[in-house]
Amino acid sequence: MDSYALLIAATLNAGTVLAIASLGLLINEKVGIVNLGAEGMMLCAALAGFAAVVHTGSTVVGFAAGMAAGALMAAIFGVLVIWLNTNQYATGLALSLFGGGFSAFAGTGYVQARLPEQTAWAIPLLGDIPLLGPALFRHHPMVYVAMALTVGLIWFLYRTRTGLVLRSVGESPESAHALGYPVRRIRLAAVVAGGALCGLAGAYISTVYTPLWVEGMVAGKGWIALALTTFATWRPARVLLGAYLFGGVTMLQFHLQGAGVNVPSQFLTMLPYVATIVVLALISRNPTWIRVNMPSSIGKPFYPGS
Amino acid sequence: MTDHQKRSLLKVAALSALASATLIGCGKKEEPAPAPAPAPVAAPEPAKPEPLKVAFAYVGPVGDGGWTFAHDNGRKAVEKEFGDKVVTSFVENVPESADAERVIRDMAAQGNKVVFGTTFGYMESMLKVAADTPDVKFEHATGYKTAPNMRTYDSRTYEGAYMAGVIAGAMTKSNTLGVVGSIPIPEVIRNINSFTLGAQSVNPKIKTKVVWVGEWFNPPKETEAATSLINGGADILFQNTDSSAVLQTAGKLGKRAFGWDSDMSAYEPKAHLASSVINWGPYYVKAVGDALNGTWSTGGVWWGVKEGAIDIVSIAEDVPADIKTKIDTIKAGLKDGSFAIWKGPIKGQDGKDVLAKDVVADDAFMGGIKFYVKGVEGKVPGG
Amino acid sequence: MLKLEARPQPSPLWSYASPVLALAITVLIGVALFVALGKDPVRGLQVFFWDPIKSGYALSELMVKVTPLLIIALGLAVCFRSNVWNIGAEGQYIVGAIAAGGVALLADKTTGPWIVPAILLAGVTGGMAWAGITALLRDKFNASEILVSLMLVYVAIQFLNFMVYGPWKDPMGYNFPQTKTFEAVTQIPRLFTGSRVSIGLLLALAGVAALWVFLFRTYAGFAQQVGGLAPAAALYAGFSSRKALWIALLASGGAAGLAGALEVAGPIGQLTPFVPAGYGFAAIIVAFVGRLHPVGMVFSAILMSMFYIGGELAQSRLGLPKSITGVFQGLLLFTLLACDTLIAYRIKWSR
């Protein structure tokens, strides 16, 4: 039974990265902007975070550096897409490709660096409960931050006025503009916030999850996070659950190998991606459902003058 | 400005950009184009001979702290040994793909007389370039195809694996050992087996669990694999992958692990039990020496503890003294040939002998190992 | 204060000048980068723009890189012009390579040269089939082709790994994950002896001509593009957007698959886990920088290949990490997108 508790723990850990990044992308898409540059932002943030910890020894500084890197890249993306009205998909892709190349390039000096030893985290008392303790209460604070973030986002989007304005910008920027809201600035704020969260996820990967730097270490998690927002029909709670699901599938393939199950490992590795495709097909099938759940202005440029 | 004027201005700008690019190209031709080979020195007084140019192609980054790092240390040993008689250079992150051929061909074209390819995947590329440049000597690591001007070299990593196993068998409390495997080639399977045999020699009760990452170098995946092994009950980890992620994960989760290819003790001092390292220095010095002296000949070499190519280092303080003595005895036995790791009786997973009593396996047998010995759980992937 | 003012109609001048300006800005940033790293900027520029073309051999290696990039980009141009966002060309390339490899493995010492066209056809079919999945899901389920095609890239990579670790592994290969080297007869014919350039280059150039004719001289091509540029107009005119979707994806899938077949039966000569080389993604940049125009893409393919080869040379000549290639390629796309604004807008000073 112990090993199941540990499997759950590993799942939560693996899912945290996806959850934080995906929530950031959710904020973007709620205002109607698709940022395909998630992978590039996460890579640069991973490097920034790692470098910051190498130089200052503080994980908090590392997270801050990661968020700053993500926010900066998102800001560049935002200006291009919102003010210069460049194609969102192409610009996002450029961000991903550039981020990948730049992080590999700038990171060459850090490949052999090591981080100071990590403390083992555990909530006192709760962490000692048999089974539940190791599964749920012995995690790095960021795991709980992801959960808190989800709750916070739900409250913000659906219970505050600002959240309502944000969503209305995503549904119909023209109407929001007519009502006098600074649509472009709101969109930029959302994009930057989303970038900061992607950056946080990236920094977590390189400073906590695998405390090493190597180029390409995000290994496609940015793209999965993008798929997650659609998979979760743009609802924060579903994003968190979906993230854990995907994290679980990743850990499952090794668990099965260790247990001697003889499925070729490649099919296990394929699972998260195939699952995403299946779910995408299922949820997109119903155009009404999509119209109800998907922010209407996704991907479309906004021209204030029109 | 009128539209017409703007258009003309831009045409001029574009043309000048193009022109400057061409000028840069032509302008710098004064720099001597890299000569295919240094002209033989035939001066009246005995002038110093041109240094021998030696190039290294690495599959990973020099900073990986593992496989490529060890090769680069070998390169530095060559520089130290031969001083200004050689000039070395390297290219890292050369993928095991069609691009490798271009890089290796470029090395030959740049005047290098000895080219080292440090991974299996360069084999076909090196063969092709070797055929086209007969005056260059090619050294291929871990391969099996040779040519008149191309030979192979490898190290007996299984000896280091065996010694690590001895330590693991003595130090484990759960009697479950975990191995993070890279790619299921005979070399890696042999290492897993040797690790198990070593552990069984001091602790017959152990069992080994194996998880495959499918790549040589992927720290995040290595982390996940290590985590799942620990979740499965392993308290000591061994690896055949190239980074320190497994060791770091063990440290994070309070278990012990080994370093591989290079000394990884600095990465996680508390968790580190020992590092099985490869010293490419002795072989590289010999190879370059052969080229300098004209005694180079093709073939294949497999060096181990005896020749100084394999060692186990930085053994942790808390390993019992009698185990440390046993390791020294094994090393001495390997050096003088009195000890053989792969000597029967050795049983396969089905309990039947794969090596009969007192039979010593030869290199051919060891080169084709595709089975697990008794004590290793699971099946070899892709059988 | 700089202000953007919309032009009454898109500027034809800037349509051509924008990529040139983008390149100039990229080069400027590159020079600044070289200086910041303490390298001689002129030597840096030379390594990227002169060394890759200065000899017959260098030029031929350049063409070896250009061939797959151009072929894939040609297919992508059809897609992007139809507003179908096929991001998964890499996956289609891989499946094309697998299919081609499968046919190549059938050859033995007695096979005749008919196998070469069979290999190429298999590659095209494989790529089309893979893209077809994306098309089907978009057609029947309205699933985003961006996400589906992207996820399929990862599935394709795993599928390739499965084949080379399992059923197709070379039994004489010491259990290494790779197929046996293909028989000599399967080799795509070279254009010149002594270089690795194959007839794939001719196929690419033929593709350029074919695409030009299709886009600018045929009714079908016109219908295809209207669907992308103005879907409402297309609907009104009776052009089928379903047909446009399928044509776009099948064309780009087939092109990517062909590129995969040419690489695998050409320079690589076997199937290994290293077949995916990122050409599917780089071709997206090639397509954009080439303005989705067949002739423009020839130039942008050459440019991107120079970045690849220059990056490799920069390692051994200048001691710069190879990843500088990725930096330049990404920068180029960024600056291009920014410069493209000038096509629709004019910059004005306003007080």
Task: Spell out which residues of chain A touch residue B211, defining contact as CB-CB under 8 Å.
Answer: 254, 257-258
- Return the higher-pLDDT residue of B382 and B117: B117
Q: Give the burial class of A264: count Cβ atoms within 10 A of its Cβ; 0-12 exposed, 13-18 middle, 19 or more buried.
A: middle
Across the interface, whether the CB atoms of C49 and B106 are under 8 A apart is answered no
Highest mean pLDDT among A28-32, A68-72, C156-160: A68-72
Which pLDDT value is given to residue B196?
A: 95
Please determine, for residue B265, whether its predicted confidence score (pLDDT) is greater than 80: yes
| Neighbors of chain C with 3 or more C-beta pairs under 8 Å | A, B
Across the interface, whether the CB atoms of A273 and C4 are under 8 A apart is answered no
Report the gap between the CA of B323 and the closest CA in chain C (Å).
Answer: 35
**What global pTM score does this model have?**
0.83
Across the interface, whether the CB atoms of C326 and A40 are under 8 A apart is answered no
DSSP string, B220-262: HHHHHHHHHHHHTT-SEEEE-SSSSHHHHHHHHTT-EEEEEES
**Region for C278 from its dihedrals, namely left if φ exceeds 0, alpha if ψ lies in -120 to 50, beta otherwise:** left
- Return the higher-pLDDT residue of A232 and A61: A61
Integer Cα distance of A28 and A41 in angstroms = 14
B215-255 tens-digit pLDDT: 787 888 888 899 889 888 899 999 998 888 899 889 888 89
C241-260 tens-digit pLDDT: 788 899 999 999 999 999 99
For A13, the closest chain B residue by CA position comes to B224
Please determine, for residue A220, whether its predicted confidence score (pLDDT) is greater than 90: no
The pLDDT-based confidence of B47 (bands split at 50, 70, 90) is low
C316-334 tens-digit pLDDT: 788 788 788 888 888 888 8
| Neighbors of chain A with 3 or more C-beta pairs under 8 Å | B, C
> Is C327 in contact with C84 (CB distance < 8 Å)?
no
The pLDDT-based confidence of B26 (bands split at 50, 70, 90) is very low
B294 Cα distance to chain centroid: 27
Tokens found for residue C161: 């790994």
Across the interface, whether the CB atoms of A266 and C85 are under 8 A apart is answered no
Task: Spell out which residues of chain B touch residue C43, defining contact as CB-CB under 8 Å.
Answer: 28
Please give the average per-residue pLDDT across C299-307, as a whole number: 92
Please determine, for residue A67, whether its predicted confidence score (pLDDT) is greater than 90: yes
Report the gap between the CA of A146 and the closest CA in chain C (Å).
Answer: 24
In whole numbers, what is the pLDDT of chain A averaged over residues? 86
Task: Spell out which residues of chain A touch residue C146, defining contact as CB-CB under 8 Å.
Answer: 36, 89
Report the gap between the CA of C75 and the closest CA in chain B (Å).
Answer: 23
Which pLDDT value is given to residue B20?
A: 43
Domains defined along chain B, listed by start: 52-155+281-307 (3.40.50.2300), 158-277+342-367 (3.40.50.2300)
- For residue B29, how many other CB atoms are within 10 A of its CB? 11
> Is B57 in contact with B88 (CB distance < 8 Å)?
no
Across the interface, whether the CB atoms of C175 and B186 are under 8 A apart is answered yes
A112 touches chain B (CB under 8 A): yes
Which pLDDT value is given to residue B118?
A: 94
Report the gap between the CA of C140 and the closest CA in chain A (Å).
Answer: 7
Tokens found for residue C286: 């090639």
> Is B104 in contact with B97 (CB distance < 8 Å)?
no
C65-78 tens-digit pLDDT: 999 999 999 999 99
User: Which ipTM did the prediction report?
Assistant: 0.81
Please give the average per-residue pLDDT across B134-160, as a whole number: 92
Report the gap between the CA of C54 and the closest CA in chain A (Å).
Answer: 26
Share of chain A above pLDDT 90, in %: 39
Alpha carbon distances (Å) from A302 to A33, A167, A183? 10, 15, 9
> Of A43-57, A178-192, B273-287, C186-200, where does mean pLDDT reach its minimum?
C186-200
The pLDDT-based confidence of A271 (bands split at 50, 70, 90) is confident
A200-213 tens-digit pLDDT: 999 999 998 888 88
Across the interface, whether the CB atoms of C85 and A89 are under 8 A apart is answered yes
Integer Cα distance of B381 and A260 in angstroms = 11
Query: Between A90, A227, A269, which is nearest C158 by CB?
Result: A269
Please give the average per-residue pLDDT across B366-371, as a whole number: 83
Which pLDDT value is given to residue A14?
A: 85
Which pLDDT value is given to residue C120?
A: 94
Which pLDDT value is given to residue C1?
A: 59
Share of chain B above pLDDT 90, in %: 48
Taking the domain C48-297+310-319, which CATH number applies? 1.10.3470
Integer Cα distance of B231 and B209 in angstroms = 11
The pLDDT-based confidence of B325 (bands split at 50, 70, 90) is very high
Across the interface, whether the CB atoms of A211 and B248 are under 8 A apart is answered yes
Please determine, for residue C179, whether its predicted confidence score (pLDDT) is greater than 50: yes
Integer Cα distance of C211 and C246 in angstroms = 17
Report the gap between the CA of C112 and the closest CA in chain A (Å).
Answer: 35
Please give the average per-residue pLDDT across B298-313, as a whole number: 90
> Of A268-277, C119-128, C292-301, where does mean pLDDT reach its minimum?
A268-277
Task: Spell out which residues of chain A touch residue C4, defining contact as CB-CB under 8 Å.
Answer: 83-84
Please give the average per-residue pLDDT across B302-311, as a whole number: 90
In whole numbers, what is the pLDDT of chain C averaged over residues? 87
B164-210 tens-digit pLDDT: 999 999 999 999 999 999 888 888 999 999 999 999 999 999 999 99
Which pLDDT value is given to residue B282?
A: 93
The pLDDT-based confidence of B1 (bands split at 50, 70, 90) is very low
C189-210 tens-digit pLDDT: 887 777 788 888 999 999 999 9
Please give the average per-residue pLDDT across B107-128, as a whole number: 92
Across the interface, whether the CB atoms of C312 and B99 are under 8 A apart is answered yes
Please give the average per-residue pLDDT across A236-257, as a whole number: 85
> Is B309 in contact with B278 (CB distance < 8 Å)?
yes
Integer Cα distance of C208 and C287 in angstroms = 12
Domain ranges of chain C: 1-39+324-351, 48-297+310-319
3-class SS of residue C1? coil
CB interface of A with B, residues 117-156, below 8 Å? 117-118, 120
Strand extents, DSSP E, chain C: 2-6, 345-349
Please determine, for residue A257, whether its predicted confidence score (pLDDT) is greater than 80: no
Tokens found for residue A291: 């119209």
Task: Spell out which residues of chain C touch residue B183, defining contact as CB-CB under 8 Å.
Answer: 176-177
Which pLDDT value is given to residue B138?
A: 95
Q: Which residues, at least 6 apart from A178, have a Cβ–Cβ distance to it below 8 Å?
A: none
> Is A201 in contact with A21 (CB distance < 8 Å)?
yes
Task: Spell out which residues of chain A touch residue C85, defining contact as CB-CB under 8 Å.
Answer: 89
The pLDDT-based confidence of B330 (bands split at 50, 70, 90) is very high
Please give the average per-residue pLDDT across B152-157, as a whole number: 92
Which pLDDT value is given to residue A305?
A: 61
Domains defined along chain A, listed by start: 2-293 (1.10.3470)
> Is C67 in contact with C93 (CB distance < 8 Å)?
no
The pLDDT-based confidence of B31 (bands split at 50, 70, 90) is very low
A101-141 tens-digit pLDDT: 899 888 887 877 777 766 667 777 776 777 777 777 778 88
- For residue A306, how many other CB atoms are within 10 A of its CB? 7
Backbone angles phi, psi at B7, to 5 degrees: -60, -40
Provide the 8-state DSSP code for B147.
B
Please give the average per-residue pLDDT across C11-40, as a whole number: 87
